[in-house]
């Protein structure tokens, strides 16, 4: 099997070592082998991006827009083919894989428009005979580090605005999903990406991720809290602008007046689809007394109907978790929950299927307290807990009692409670009668507290991170 290379300065370059990408639905299926970039090659990629940046920033906005639009068109045209690669490498169901590639296409298309839309302001001065103008300029060279759970969508919502606003970049994808990243860069190349403008460096985080901080002007990272904090400390010491999207322990509040079938579907989707491997997953189900028992039984019944299996198999609702390490970590949290006194009432067992993979049944604990580890720490798998609350006020207090603040949801037919929740929950995203997971691409995304740091991603708000604002005073 040929080893796929890294794209540095317009050339596909080999590395001294390589890693295999394994299909989590069938560990006998090797998706590919990929070269690992050592620190010197990361520095080479930074230098290539630095050399290419002035010319790229000097291109017209139409040139940048056209590259992004052509990329969007190819992604959409090939969404089934590339979507299958996403499913094969990341363990998403076929529908999820195709849906993610479609979303990546939409993101590139949106920023094709933003490339010619963004601008500044003409303002009057508070002093006579002076005009004031503000304008946006590219920040320079941007380092991007992306996770495996949305391997093409998250890469798209970082790459597209970086290029739209005249920056150059290097991307380090997760070691779990190098094939998807490689395919995305080949799409960009085919559609006119100039040499050095976007560079791809696969590598271990401790080597490649750490090396990216040296020499870039800005760093956008999506991943774990521990890694994000380390990168932030390093970046701030070097005066590198930082954008971090990290973990969540997202609450879904279900009130007595909720539409029960709707609430159950919100919980099922938010907690367990994509094998629960979403930073916006509903991991804490906070349910008030009057509906608690009916909700739990109805959710258990729906969980038993869900089909767990090979991501590309017909009828699969939930695919595998990403790897053996993640599977074992989730099993450890199940043991922690039992030790803490929570009651496991559904799932949690490792499953065998026709192919060797990392399959497990969706897991539900009840009789939990908010101070338990299983309600404080992100598990990142098909794992949810139920916390009983007396009323809305206690439910809101429980929802806010976390170090995270990414997404939060409420199921209720009360306009009063929905509005109060939306205004008072301490999270960047608030969902009403919807799963906590599920986003639009044209609006800002991000959290509060320990979930996020820095300007928002996506939508027109992305310009706040990927550009610098200049203010000019003109006397006349």
Residue whose C-alpha is closest to residue 370's, from 398, 389, 344: 398
Q: Give the C-alpha separation, 297 to 457, whole Å.
A: 38
DSSP three-state, residue 145? strand
Q: Where are the alpha helices (DSSP H) in 150-259?
A: 153-164, 178-190, 210-213, 225-237
Query: Measured between alpha carbons, how far is residue 395 from residues 124, 292, 389, 390, 391 in Å?
Result: 49, 12, 5, 7, 6
Q: Give the C-alpha separation, 5 to 430, whole Å.
A: 41
80: which 2 tokens?
Answer: 């089934």
CA angle 216, 118, 101 (to 5 degrees): 70
Residue whose C-alpha is closest to residue 40's, from 230, 212, 233, 169: 212
Q: Give the C-alpha separation, 215 to 413, whole Å.
A: 52
> Torsion-angle region of residue 341: left (phi > 0), alpha (psi -120 to 50) or beta?
left
Query: Measured between alpha carbons, how far is residue 89 from residues 29, 107, 182, 224, 430 in Å?
Result: 10, 21, 12, 20, 31
Phi, psi of 148 (to 5 degrees): -95, -15
Catalogue the active-site residues. 245, 279
Dihedral in degrees, nearest 10, Cα atoms 345, 280, 20, 8:
-170
**What is the crossing angle of helices 94-117 and 153-164, to 10°?**
10
Q: Give the C-alpha separation, 386 to 252, whole Å.
A: 10
Residue 51 near residue 197 (C-beta atoms within 8 A): no
């Amino acid at each position: 099997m040929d080893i796929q290379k890294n794209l540095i300065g317009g050339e596909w370059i080999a590395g001294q070592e390589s890693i295999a990408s394994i299909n989590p639905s069938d560990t006998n299926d090797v998706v590919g082998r990929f070269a690992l970039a050592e620190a010197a090659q990361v520095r080479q990629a930074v230098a290539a991006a630095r050399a290419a940046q002035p010319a790229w920033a000097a291109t017209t906005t139409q040139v940048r827009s056209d590259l992004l639009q052509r990329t969007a068109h190819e992604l959409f045209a090939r969404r089934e083919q590339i979507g299958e690669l996403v499913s094969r490498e990341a363990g998403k169901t076929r529908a999820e894989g195709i849906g993610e590639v479609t979303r990546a296409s939409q993101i590139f298309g949106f920023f094709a428009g933003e490339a010619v839309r963004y601008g500044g302001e003409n303002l009057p001065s508070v002093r006579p005979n002076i005009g004031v103008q503000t304008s946006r300029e590219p920040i320079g060279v941007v380092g991007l580090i992306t996770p495996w759970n949305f391997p093409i969508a998250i890469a798209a919502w970082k790459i597209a605005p970086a290029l739209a606003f005249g920056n150059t970049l290097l991307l380090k994808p997760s070691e779990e999903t190098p094939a998807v990243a490689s395919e995305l860069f080949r799409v960009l190349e085919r559609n006119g990406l100039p040499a050095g403008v976007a560079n791809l460096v696969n590598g271990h985080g401790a080597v490649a991720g750490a090396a990216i901080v040296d020499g870039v002007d800005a760093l956008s990272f999506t991943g774990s809290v521990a890694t994000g904090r380390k990168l932030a400390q390093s970046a701030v010491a070097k005066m590198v602008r930082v954008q971090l999207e990290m973990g969540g322990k997202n609450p879904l509040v279900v009130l007595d007046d909720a539409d029960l079938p709707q609430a159950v579907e919100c919980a099922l989707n938010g907690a367990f689809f994509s094998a629960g491997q979403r930073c916006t997953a509903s991991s804490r189900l906070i349910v008030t007394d009057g509906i608690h028992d009916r909700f739990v039984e109805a959710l258990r019944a729906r969980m038993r109907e869900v089909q767990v299996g090979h991501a590309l198999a017909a009828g699969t609702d939930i695919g595998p978790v990403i790897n053996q390490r993640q599977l074992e970590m989730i099993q450890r949290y199940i043991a922690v929950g039992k030790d803490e006194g929570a009651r496991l009432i559904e799932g949690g067992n490792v499953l065998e299927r026709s192919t060797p993979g990392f399959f497990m049944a969706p897991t539900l604990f009840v009789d939990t307290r908010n101070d338990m580890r299983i309600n404080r720490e992100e598990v990142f798998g098909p794992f949810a807990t139920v916390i009983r609350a007396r009323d809305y006020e206690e439910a809101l207090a429980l929802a806010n009692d976390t170090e995270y603040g990414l997404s939060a949801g409420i199921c209720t037919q009360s306009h009063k409670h929905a509005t109060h929740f939306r205004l008072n929950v301490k999270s960047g995203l608030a969902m009403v009668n919807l799963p906590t997971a599920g986003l639009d691409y044209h609006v800002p995304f991000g959290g509060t507290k320990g979930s996020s740091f820095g300007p928002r991603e996506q939508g027109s708000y992305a310009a706040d991170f990927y550009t610098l604002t200049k203010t000019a005073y003109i006397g006349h």
